[in-house]
Structure 1
Amino acid sequence: MKTSIFPYCLFQAEESPYKLTILVPVYNEEDNIERLEKELLEYLKIASVPAKVLFINDGSTDKSLELLEQVCYRNLEFSFISFEKNCGLSAAIKAGFDFVDTELTGYIDADLQTTPNDFNLLLEHIEENDLVTGVRANRKDSFVKNMSSKIANGIRRAFTHDGMDDTGCPLKIIKTCYAKNLPMFKGLHRFLPAMILLQNGKIKQIPVQHFPRIAGEAKYGLWNRLLGPLMDCFAYLWMKKKYINYTINRRGE
């Protein structure tokens, strides 16, 4: 094993040919699995750092798990973990963070409304930052979805002062040592930039492409996009008040 080259972290990356693990939470996305395999394989060929893929099956009740098993069987760079039952997106991301063994962690949704090719845009800025997140340019969602997301992001910014315009964008790169220090709980996936700031980390947002969903069904309604995040803001404020942060300036043996 080798110690991460990034400051602040105690995480040690495994000795492996990979530098980036891409997390893909999956919940009832059987109609997207084939396209996921194709697009992720194409990206691995052009990735600016050696990368692999970790699927997190969030208790799917369709054929997603069966298809993921087949995908991972025929692709060396792909692997998966599977929940016994549906636990939600935050739990899936947290499990991914726990299993990652590379210096960098990426995240993309299984609906492919963003493209893995844009990871290369984010990777250009990760050396100077600890989290780089996409901002969905020219969003291809419905008016109601766009407006609810815009309102929710405004409320969140007022609470967190993180300066981020689109924390719901499902395309991110995080230094793994910071990801593993995140005290995740339900709903906190919307506050990843703010939680990196609590660790005195640096964050940046970069415009990325956005596409309409062409298969499967959206997992979020008005409650998830608007009222839920408002309640989560109070959880974040409690976390911020109680968060333990320290810096070691000397160590002896």
Structure 2
Amino acid sequence: MKERANGITVIIPVFNEFEGIARILPAFEGYISRSKFEVTLLLVNDGSTDKSLDEIKKIAADSERVDFISFDKNAGLSAAIRAGFEKSTTKWVGYIDADLQTDPMDFLKLEAMIPAYDLVTGRREGRKDSTVKNMSSAFANWFRDSMLHDGVHDSGCPLKIMSRSAALDMPFFKGMHRFFPALTLIQGKKVIEIPVSHFPRITGKSKFNVWNRLLAPLQDTIALRWMMKRQSEYIISEKSVKRQKAVHHE
């Protein structure tokens, strides 16, 4: 299917967010009306065990702006986002969490920086999370930047726009969503970070704990640093140029 250059698909992973799904489309109305792109919302049900899928089907049926895909079982945030990249048919893809702790209107700030950058990522100002969550995230971000030197302060911010081609060129692994800036820079592409708003969670519960917020990301950071150190670069100085012979069909 041909890529839509004037479109952007906003990927919204969902795992047991039944209470908040009805808020999603109204929260996006302002952004959709002011965006310079034709906006599609793609909800990815990551094997929810509550009634999230039923609610997703309702809003998809009521709006041409909303599409969805659903996993048969929980596969994790990175898998949900990656599936969204693959399902999308637009030149640009966005990402936001279903809990709406970031503001869809801030996508307008990110839009203003493309196509000069391949990834525009948010930086949450005045985060409204718990002290433990904020501290573990701050340490993980410091460790990641110390190891990878991506120059980003809030790599895990759930508000991003990137080119779909850059997104699909990233290696897929569990936890990749924490490293979008570094994975974009590895490709030799451009990244910028923009301040965005942050709000307390209103519905649902956080899916993160000490293991998946701190320990696992540290292991992934070390693995990614190893991969960066093992990169091999080359420059082609010459190549043969031959005309392709025309093929005649009788």
Instruction: Report the TM-score when normalising by structure 2.
Output: 0.90
1:41 offset after TM fit, Å?
Answer: 3.1
Q: Which runs of 5+ in 1 are unaligned?
A: 2-11
Cα distance, 1:14–1:50 mapped onto 2, change above 3 Å:
closer
Q: Which has the larger radius of gyration?
A: 2
Partner of 1:180, secondary structure, is helix
Q: Report the counterpart of residue 196 of structure 1 in structure 2.
A: 184
Cα distance, 1:40–1:245 mapped onto 2, change above 3 Å:
farther
Q: Report the counterpart of residue 44 of structure 1 in structure 2.
A: 32
1:242 offset after TM fit, Å?
Answer: 5.1
1:81 aligns with 2:99: no
- Identity percentage over the alignment? 48
For the residues of structure 1 that align with 2:96 and 2:159, how far apart are their CA atoms? 5
1:184 aligns with 2:177: no
Give the partner amino acid of 1:84. D
Q: Report the counterpart of residue 161 of structure 2 in structure 1.
A: 173
1:161 aligns with 2:149: yes
For the residues of structure 2 that align with 1:86 and 1:150, how far apart are their CA atoms? 27
Instruction: Give 1:1-253 correspondences, 5 Å limit.
Output: 13-14=3-4, 18-241=6-229, 253=244
Q: Deviations over 1:180-214 (max 9, x none)?
A: 11111001111100000011000000000000001
Q: Which runs of 5+ in 2 are unaligned?
A: 245-250
For the residues of structure 2 that align with 1:91 and 1:153, how far apart are their CA atoms? 21
Instruction: Report the TM-score when normalising by structure 1.
Output: 0.89
Give the partner amino acid of 1:98. E
Partner of 1:103, secondary structure, is strand
Partner of 2:143, secondary structure, is helix
For the residues of structure 1 that align with 2:143 and 2:112, how far apart are their CA atoms? 30
1:69 offset after TM fit, Å?
Answer: 0.6
Across the two proteins, how many residue pairs are aligned to each other? Answer: 241
Cα distance, 1:181–1:245 mapped onto 2, change above 3 Å:
farther
Q: Deviations over 1:106-152 (max 9, x none)?
A: 00000000011100000111121110000000111111111111000
1:27/1:59 contact within 8 Å kept: yes
1:225 offset after TM fit, Å?
Answer: 1.4
Q: Report the counterpart of residue 247 of structure 2 in structure 1.
A: none
Deviates more, 1:41-50 or 1:53-62: 41-50
For the residues of structure 2 that align with 1:47 and 1:248, how far apart are their CA atoms? 41
Partner of 2:69, secondary structure, is strand
Q: Deviations over 1:148-200 (max 9, x none)?
A: 11000001001110000001110000011101111110011111000000110
RMSD of aligned Cα (Å): 2.0
